Amino acid sequence: MSLFHSAFLQSKSSAKGPITNQIVHFIQGEIEKGHIASGDRLPSIRMLADLYSVSHVTAASVYNKLSENGYIKSKNRSGYYVIKNPVLPSCTQSSFNPDWLLQHAYEDTSPHTKAGGGWLSEQQIFTSSIQKSLKNIAQSNLIPSLMEYGDPAGLRPLRTAIRNLLERRNIHTIENSITLTHGASQALELSLRACTQPGDIVLVDDPGYCNLYLLLQNLNLRAVGIPYTKEGPDTDALLEIQHQTKAQVMVTTSVLHNPTGICTSLDNIHKINEISKKTGLILIEDNIFLDLAPIRQPCLSQGNNNNVIHIGSFSKTIGPGLRVGYVIAPTAITQKILSYKMSISLTTPQINEMIVHNILKSGLYISHLSDLREQLFQNQKKVSNALKSSGLEVYNRPMGGLFIWARFAFNISPLKITQIAAENNILLAPGYLFRPNQAPSQWFRFNVTLSDKAELYTFLKNMTRIYSHT
């Protein structure tokens, strides 16, 4: 066995992720440490494949990535050589933008530890109830009808169940005001299309939902941030900016805010609703985490404000792959939403909606939410303490939900930390991704269902040790 292979096997024992990335990461590390010297010739593709028991295609992919990363080059078909004094490709902030987070997090080759992800871990997905629902559907005679287009507004029994679910939170509506959508993302898009014209200004949380900024760009809308505090949106800033911009629409998350985990205070909810009523500002309340909060948690949609559009989803409570969301809006806006929905996707998949309806009808959903809230509360406590022990400052420990907003106790380059983390098979979500126009931020979003991993805490401690004195 060669020394090259032996060293790789030792490093591989704790490595995770696709084998290609493992070999690339190992060879890059050996070059950086000087164990493989500048000018050294690497094994041939055939030899590399034999050394690591991989295909020739995988071996070639390793060398292609090393070449792209600026570590090696091919010489006159005589083999691959380590570049002398390699100039590694520069990493700009645009390399790690919301588009990158949105796409890279879902790739098969994405980092193993997705600490910055925005979804439930596999352990929290309501798998048992999904299986029961699928079994009931399979044993019924409903499948032919579920394969039809169905009602443009979505499966009526599910809309009724959603109305009843929201009644428990003192949010009053009727089935005809509820439109089912392909996840909350489509609900956001349809709501914005119904309420804006290209070129309009839309007020947003700062920091806020990073994918929203991409959507606004694609719709040719301009985002203007409202500072998000520990009480929710800064209402003084909101009033001043709204008067300056004459904005017609604001998108905000009042419950378990993404990325900070904050719940807007009752006082702020009253103030925001009053501003909305006085100025005609339409509030799109993107509250996809509502069911993860205690039943008494207030939100904007509980008032008698006719300018509120409420968006919800089951992706954060049942499973992200179901893609069942909903939007509740005044009648005139609902008609526009339905028109846009049909022009984009005709209807939404009835079989997904029936899965959710069966889960709600079974009575298990409420007890599942109770268990899930307790799990997330415990996760919040555990991950928050671990982040602090790793040298980070936690902005505010939320009562539950998925996210913690934290930063190092010293100024660093979030971009550099994110890049180093990616090289160590860890996906971080730096704070500038969650700000309009990617304004600077020292904060990071951590998902408490995906972050409780020794390799993450070790990485953070190492970064604290290395950079705290620089």
Helix, strand, coil percentages, rounded to 5, for the chain: 50, 15, 35
Compute the mean pLDDT over every residue in the chain, rounded to the nearest whole number: 89
Percentage above 70 pLDDT, the chain = 89
Whether 361 shows a pLDDT value over 60: the answer reads yes
Domains in the chain, please, with CATH?
3-82 (1.10.10.10), 93-118+367-467 (3.90.1150.10), 141-362 (3.40.640.10)
Predicted local confidence at residue 40, as pLDDT: 85
Whether 59 shows a pLDDT value over 90: the answer reads no
Mean pLDDT along residues 421-426: 87
Read off the pLDDT of residues 67-114 as tens digits, 9 standing for 90 and up: 766 788 887 667 888 886 554 444 455 556 666 555 555 554 456 789
Tell me how far apart the terminal alpha carbons of the chain are, to the nearest angstrom: 41
Name the band, by pLDDT with cuts 50, 70 and 90, for residue 174: very high
Alpha helical stretches, state H, 168-223: 183-195, 210-218
Predicted local confidence at residue 257, as pLDDT: 97
Predicted local confidence at residue 113, as pLDDT: 87
Predicted local confidence at residue 37, as pLDDT: 82
**Rounded to whole angstroms, how far apart are CA atoms 429 and 411?**
17
CA 270 to chain CA mean position, Å:
29
- Kindly compute the dihedral angle of the four CA atoms of residues 422, 428, 432, 435, in this order, to the nearest 10 degrees: 140
Q: Name residue, tokens 């900016």.
A: 241
Mean pLDDT along residues 217-224: 95
313 with 184: CB under 8 angstroms?
yes
Whether 223 shows a pLDDT value over 90: the answer reads yes
Q: Considering only CA atoms, which of 322, 232, 321, 229 is closest in space to residue 283?
A: 232
Predicted local confidence at residue 422, as pLDDT: 85
Q: Is 363 helix (H, G, I), strand (E, B) or coil?
A: coil
Whether 249 shows a pLDDT value over 80: the answer reads yes
- DSSP label at residue 115: T
Predicted local confidence at residue 52, as pLDDT: 85
| Residue scoring higher pLDDT (420 or 13) | 420
Predicted local confidence at residue 230, as pLDDT: 96
Name the band, by pLDDT with cuts 50, 70 and 90, for residue 16: low
Predicted local confidence at residue 95, as pLDDT: 55
Q: Considering only CA atoms, which of 317, 302, 319, 30 is closest in space to residue 173?
A: 302
Predicted local confidence at residue 36, as pLDDT: 84
Read off the pLDDT of residues 115-132 as tens digits, 9 standing for 90 and up: 999 999 989 999 999 999
Q: Which residues of 157-193 are buried (b: 16+ CB within 10 A; e: fewer)?
A: ebbbbbbebbeebebebeeebbbbbbbbbbbbbbbbb
Q: Considering only CA atoms, which of 432, 408, 439, 438 is closest in space to residue 259?
A: 432
One-letter amino acid for residue 453 of the chain: K
